[in-house]
């Protein structure tokens, strides 16, 4: 990162931090400003974790100012932001915009409607994060409905049902009700029968190509005015499985001359030969399309507000035809753009991730390289860090980019104060693809003249948590890049000053002033004997190394901050090594 870019980041970060602190009446948080900062300045993203290192000191400087000083400084560097702040309505602040017309409803009822065709990628977290936040804000009600009425194209994964509920729990939310669409087939059939009785649907045996040509020309299907009795009989034959896939569909009558061809007499039910993987639904062959199934469920389950992608605007319009037939009132709808997440080489797509796992390119859904909730969870990232980052994106109809650095900053704020420190000397790197970091190497250095045991703090900010006892022995391991030149000194963190004579370290009687005044480097280290072999699993490759002996006492899910390396989650102890998953710096 060159100095010009560094200065730009400082300026943008200062304006954002001042605005954030004044808006919330409290200290600015690094995590709260990183997301908007990266979103507004895409050129910053390639520098990833470096940005947070520039932003953090700026935030500290802003937080040291009193309110009057903050206002004066913001007026000086970004007067338009101060004007924006002053123009905001008084009252409780929320990171999300108000839902439309909430005053018209006794209770805000929203639904998260996943297709259980596999574990969730990071983009899936946006829906429960936002809906759960709205639920808390309005003291509302949240439904999880598994839209699993496509047993062929988006074939359900039997493990995904419980897995998705587990992911929602990880994000910090609990649904008020859970519904599975494939359990409600008789309900959809009954409403289809009623729609036929209202003259709103007809059975059609046109080929897809033939109907498409008629539709695009604004011409009615020859089956459109079929006798209602025949329609009912043919629909019952569909339910009984008497047709093969593609042989017969049930269409909703709309406006055959509608300006949008996609809304003309759309399919409500079709035949599917592939049995549903759920035993309870395996006998069904006549399946509702999502627009029909979802529309019926939203009404029957009392949904008041729907959030869906901007690409699904036609869904609301199709469903409105059905609602008009039944004389129902359509829920409020909020459309938003897609979210993309940086920092991954793997596309954020369930089918893509599944294919890479099957091909052996990924170890599983929790591989550090996979952009999935299982992956970040295994890395020790809190669900709240993801929720906060997703909520900060808002509900704009524009596509938005989520910088992983904002999730990392949020997580750092959540775990830093409670996470103990430890030393890890890296001794190997297995690169995965182009651009991987250079290999690390460790050097064993004899040491003499100092204490037998070092006593670094468990946490540098919490003296009350005590010290770690790290035996020194006859030699230590240091990262080769940290090894000083012959005759030079370094400060072994938590131990003290040593001088390197070309063959080993000799303890000196220098005090900490040599670091402050003489620029002596502070480095981490571990004893050469008794250290714990560690494989640190990262997004860009596995790093090998040795942790201080006390790491052997950790348990699965314990977090640690390896000094000068980053946060990691203890995963397991194998026969020859301990495996940890890297979270972030």
Q: pLDDT tens across 446-469, in order?
A: 999 999 999 999 999 999 999 999
Q: What is the pLDDT of residues 249-268, one digit of tens each?
A: 999 999 999 999 999 999 99
Q: What residue has token string 């035996």? A: 471
What does the block give as tokens for 537? 């699993």
> pLDDT: is 407 or 51 the higher one?
407
Beta bridge partners of 523: 492
Mean pLDDT score of the chain, rounded to an integer?
92
On the question of pLDDT at 19 being above 90, the answer is no
Contact yes or no for 202/231 (Cβ under 8 A): yes
For residue 92, the model assigns a pLDDT of: 56
What does the block give as tokens for 403? 């910088």
Contact yes or no for 218/254 (Cβ under 8 A): no
Q: What are phi and psi of 343, to 5 degrees?
A: 80, -5
**CA 119 to CA 325: how far, in whole Å?**
37
Q: What is the pLDDT of residues 312-354, one digit of tens each?
A: 999 999 999 999 999 999 999 999 999 999 889 999 999 999 9
For residue 436, the model assigns a pLDDT of: 45
For residue 88, the model assigns a pLDDT of: 58
The 109-112 sheet, strands edge to edge: 177-180, 141-146, 109-112, 305-309, 332-336
Nearest CA to 265 out of 257, 274, 275 is that of 257
Beta bridge partners of 542: 430, 537
Farthest-apart Cα atoms in the chain, separation: 101
For residue 66, the model assigns a pLDDT of: 87
What does the block give as tokens for 498? 């040593």
Mean local confidence (pLDDT), 543-569: 96
In three-state secondary structure terms, 164 is helix
Lowest mean pLDDT among 92-96, 281-285, 368-372: 92-96
Q: What band does 433 get if pLDDT is binned at 50, 70 and 90?
A: very low
For residue 555, the model assigns a pLDDT of: 97
**CA 62 to CA 21: how far, in whole Å?**
8
Contact yes or no for 48/93 (Cβ under 8 A): no
On the question of pLDDT at 214 being above 90, the answer is yes
What does the block give as tokens for 92? 């409780």
Mean local confidence (pLDDT), 202-215: 94
Mean local confidence (pLDDT), 523-535: 96
On the question of pLDDT at 376 being above 60, the answer is yes
In three-state secondary structure terms, 513 is helix
**CA 324 to CA 321: how far, in whole Å?**
5
In sequence order, the 6+-apart residues with CB closer than 8 A to the CB of 394 are 95, 96, 97, 400
Mean local confidence (pLDDT), 539-554: 95
Mean local confidence (pLDDT), 8-24: 86
Contact yes or no for 559/415 (Cβ under 8 A): yes
Nearest CA to 125 out of 325, 357, 402 is that of 402
DSSP string, 51-115: HHHHHHHHHHHHHTS-HHHHHHHHHHH-HHHHHHHHHSPSS---SSPPPTTGGG-SS-EEEE---
Nearest CA to 362 out of 379, 345, 378 is that of 345
Give exposure, 346-362, as e/b (b: 16+ Cβ within 10 Å).
bebebeebbebbeeeeb
**CA 145 to CA 155: how far, in whole Å?**
16
For residue 438, the model assigns a pLDDT of: 56
Nearest CA to 52 out of 343, 371, 465 is that of 343
**CA 580 to CA 344: how far, in whole Å?**
20
Mean local confidence (pLDDT), 3-14: 87
The pTM of the whole model exceeds 0.85 = no
Q: What band does 55 get if pLDDT is binned at 50, 70 and 90?
A: confident
For residue 359, the model assigns a pLDDT of: 97
Q: What residue has token string 């050129």? A: 43
**CA 38 to CA 48: how far, in whole Å?**
9
**pLDDT > 70 in the chain, percent:** 95
On the question of pLDDT at 435 being above 50, the answer is no
How many angstroms separate the first and last alpha carbons of the chain? 17
Beta bridge partners of 534: 545, 578
In three-state secondary structure terms, 336 is strand
For residue 93, the model assigns a pLDDT of: 67
Residue 40 CA from chain centroid, whole number: 19
On the question of pLDDT at 84 being above 80, the answer is no
Helices (H), 201-346: 208-216, 228-239, 290-300, 313-326
What does the block give as tokens for 451? 């204490």
Task: Kindly state the helix (H) or strand (E) to which residue 142 belongs, with its residue range.
Answer: strand 141-146
């Amino acid at each position: 990162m060159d100095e010009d870019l560094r200065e730009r980041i400082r300026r943008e970060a200062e304006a954002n931090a001042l605005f954030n602190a004044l808006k919330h009446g409290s200290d600015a948080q690094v995590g709260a400003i990183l997301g908007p900062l990266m979103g507004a300045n895409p050129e910053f993203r390639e520098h990833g974790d470096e940005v947070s290192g520039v932003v953090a000191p700026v935030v500290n400087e802003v937080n040291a100012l009193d309110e009057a000083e903050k206002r004066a400084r913001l007026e000086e560097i970004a007067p338009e932001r101060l004007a924006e702040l002053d123009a905001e309505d008084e009252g409780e602040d929320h990171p999300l915009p108000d839902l439309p017309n909430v005053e018209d409803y006794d209770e805000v009822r929203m639904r998260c409607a996943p297709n259980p065709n596999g574990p969730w990628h990071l983009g899936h977290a946006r829906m429960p994060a936002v809906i759960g936040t709205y639920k808390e804000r309005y003291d509302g009600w949240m439904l999880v409905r598994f839209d699993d009425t496509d047993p062929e194209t988006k074939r359900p994964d039997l493990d995904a049902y419980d897995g998705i509920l587990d992911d929602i729990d990880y994000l910090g939310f609990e649904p008020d009700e859970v519904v599975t669409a494939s359990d409600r087939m008789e309900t959809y059939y009954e409403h289809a029968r009623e729609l036929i009785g209202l003259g709103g649907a007809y059975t059609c045996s046109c080929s897809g190509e033939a109907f498409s040509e008629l539709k695009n020309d604004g011409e009615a299907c020859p089956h459109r005015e079929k006798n209602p009795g025949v329609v009912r009989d043919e629909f019952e034959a569909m339910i009984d499985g008497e047709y093969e896939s593609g042989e017969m569909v049930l269409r909703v009558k709309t406006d055959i001359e509608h300006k949008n061809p996609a809304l003309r007499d759309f399919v409500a039910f079709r035949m599917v030969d592939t049995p549903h993987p759920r035993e309870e639904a395996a006998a069904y062959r006549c399946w509702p399309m999502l627009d029909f199934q979802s529309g019926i469920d939203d009404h029957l389950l009392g949904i008041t507000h729907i959030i869906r992608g901007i690409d699904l605007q036609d869904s609301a319009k199709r469903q409105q035809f059905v609602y008009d037939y039944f004389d129902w009132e359509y829920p409020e709808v909020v459309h938003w753009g897609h979210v993309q997440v940086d920092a991954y080489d793997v596309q954020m797509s369930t089918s893509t991730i599944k294919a890479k796992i099957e091909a052996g390119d990924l170890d599983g859904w929790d591989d550090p390289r996979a952009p999935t909730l299982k992956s970040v969870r295994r890395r020790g990232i809190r669900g709240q860090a993801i929720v906060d980052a997703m909520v900060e994106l808002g509900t704009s109809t524009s596509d938005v980019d989520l910088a992983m650095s904002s999730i990392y900053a949020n997580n750092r704020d959540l775990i830093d104060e409670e996470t103990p420190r430890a030393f890890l000397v890296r001794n190997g790197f297995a690169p995965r693809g182009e651009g991987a970091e250079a290999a690390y190497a460790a050097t064993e250095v004899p040491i003499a003249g100092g204490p037998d045991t070092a006593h670094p703090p468990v946490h540098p900010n919490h003296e009350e948590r005590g010290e770690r006892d790290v035996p020194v022995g006859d030699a230590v391991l240091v990262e080769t890049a940290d090894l000083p030149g012959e005759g030079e000194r370094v400060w072994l963190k938590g131990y003290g000053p040593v001088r390197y004579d070309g063959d080993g370290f000799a303890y000196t009687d220098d005090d900490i002033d040599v670091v402050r005044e003489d620029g002596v480097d502070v480095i981490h280290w571990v004893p050469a004997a008794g250290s714990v072999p560690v494989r640190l699993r990262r997004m860009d490759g596995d790093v090998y190394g040795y942790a201080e002996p006390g790491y052997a006492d950790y348990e699965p899910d314990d977090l640690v901050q390896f000094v000068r390396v980053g946060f990691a989650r203890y995963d397991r102890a194998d026969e020859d090594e301990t495996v940890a998953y890297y979270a972030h710096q």
